[in-house]
A = this chain, B = another copy of it.
Amino acid sequence: MTRLNPPSRQSAGEPIDWSAAFSAYGQRATASEIRELLKLLDQPGIISFAGGIPDPGLFPVEILAKAHARIFADPTRAAAALQYSVSEGYPPLREQLAQGWRDQGVELSIDNIMITNGSQQALDLIGRLFLDAGDRLLSARPTYLGALQAFNGQAPSHGDLAELAAGRADAKLAYVMPDFANPTGESIGLNERHALLADADAAGVVVVEDAAYVSLSYDGEAPASLLALESASKGSIEAGRVIHCGTFSKTVVPGLRVGWVIAPEPVIRKLVLLKQAADLHTSTLAQMALSEVIDAIGQAHIVRLRETYSARRDAMLAALERHMPAGVNWTRPKGGMFVWLDLPHGVDGAELLARAIETERVAFVPGAAFFADGAKPNTLRLSFSLNPPAAIDEGVGRLGRLIRSTR
């Protein structure tokens, strides 16, 4: 817990030296490549595989519009939707989520669920609840950039998830995205899930399960979640060590910023206190609207998402086969939004991106951004969620041409 700056008493009467005034966290926080890249999406002519962004053409706009209109038309509900509400989240929405789990045989109640501003806030609050500076955090390498950013607030030391199986047991948290992970698109199989839970038990580690992409499965359903597996083996989620994060961002819309966290009650009670201190509660109106919408859209909406995105996944894998030179390898995701590319050693993803934008008008995220230590510069992430198949083929063609010219 060293501090990066001395107690920063500023000199009397002089303009503030802001950089010296910032906390250790303030000094650590730096702009991410993804963030800068998102600005490129607005440039005409660029085919962007950068953002992990759902296709707005798939947003259930009319259903959302009607839900909002119904709430505003009922004076009692409108007043509730626009008023302060409890930090735990809107009880009927939490009950719907709980019922969904009970329908799958996992017994939990609304007291196991807190609503968050997307799963990003769940990660931030979980980090603050568990991590002190220097505490060890295990995650896949590469892993979700937003998780690294959220946990970075606590200055953890980073370790590879593989340490769990190796019996290294000095970690506090293990962050896992079992289904169609960002950024690789890869999943953890059922046997590995059981092993991971056993290893976490043996090591006494808290497991954070990020299920952001679980509904976007294209080749059959994903295996049971870590939360469900642990609840089944231990008889109750109260006996477990899994904290599960979900979101409406990939299945309904991301712009309303609504997600949730599921955990044993002692964890939820504390998270509620941290949520209250952080922003009191998530938009009441957004929670009430989504409560209506998720009943209205039903499974048909998920089927439509899967059909659209799986066709794009197929298009991207076919285009990679068609256009990539030898020496380039990539993942074959069964869901989600991402394909991960390994380029020949010596090719730098960040340099490639600069040239890609300038000469080929195609964008992606350099893979180094997804490692806490910036390892593996010769990797990159492609998202297939936003472009139709023809644009995917064109964009991958441009990228293949660029890589070929690089060698």
User: Which residues of chain A have a CB within 8 Å of any CB of chain B?
Assistant: 1, 3, 7-16, 18-19, 21-26, 29-32, 35, 38, 51, 53-54, 56-57, 59, 61-62, 64-65, 68-69, 72-73, 75, 78-87, 116-118, 120-121, 124, 128-132, 135, 146, 149-150, 152-154, 169-170, 172, 201-206, 239, 241, 249, 253-257, 264, 266-267, 270, 273-274, 276-286
Contact = CB atoms under 8 A, between A and B. Distances in A.
Contact of A279 (B78, B120, B204): B120
B149 A277 contact: yes
11 contacts: A1-B3, A18-B270, A24-B132, A53-B84, A57-B79, A59-B82, A61-B75, A81-B255, A83-B255, A84-B254, A117-B279
Contacts of A130: 21-23, 26
Nearest to A278: B124
B26 A270 contact: yes
* Residue of A38, A51, A117, A146 contacting most chain B CB atoms (<10 Å): A117
Contacts of A1: 1, 3
A93 B101 CA distance: 39
Contacts of A22: 129-130, 270
A56 B82 contact: yes
A280 B120 contact: yes
Count of this chain's copies in the oligomeric assembly? 2
* Residue of A31, A38, A204, A264 contacting most chain B CB atoms (<10 Å): A204
Given A264-B18, A277-B153, A270 B29 contact: yes
Contacts of A78: 59, 61, 65
A279 B84 contact: no
A266 B153 CA distance: 19
Contacts of A118: 279-280
A257 B21 CA distance: 28
A29 B130 CA distance: 12
A255 B56 contact: no
B124 A204 contact: no
A57 B244 CA distance: 39
A83 B264 CA distance: 32
Contact of A257 (B150, B152, B283): B283
Contacts of A84: 38, 51, 53, 249, 254-255
Contacts of A280: 117-118, 120, 146, 257
Contacts of A23: 128-132, 135, 154
A231 to B, nearest CB: 13
A16 B283 contact: no
Contacts of A75: 61
Contacts of A87: 35
Contacts of A79: 56-57, 59, 61
Contacts of A202: 12-13
A155 to B, nearest CB: 11
A11 B146 contact: no
B277 A278 contact: no
Given A15-B239, A53-B83, A61 B72 contact: yes
B82 A72 contact: no
Contacts of A62: 72
A260 B370 CA distance: 30
A396 B239 CA distance: 48
Nearest to A169: B9
A243 to B, nearest CB: 11
A73 B66 CA distance: 11
Nearest to A234: B15
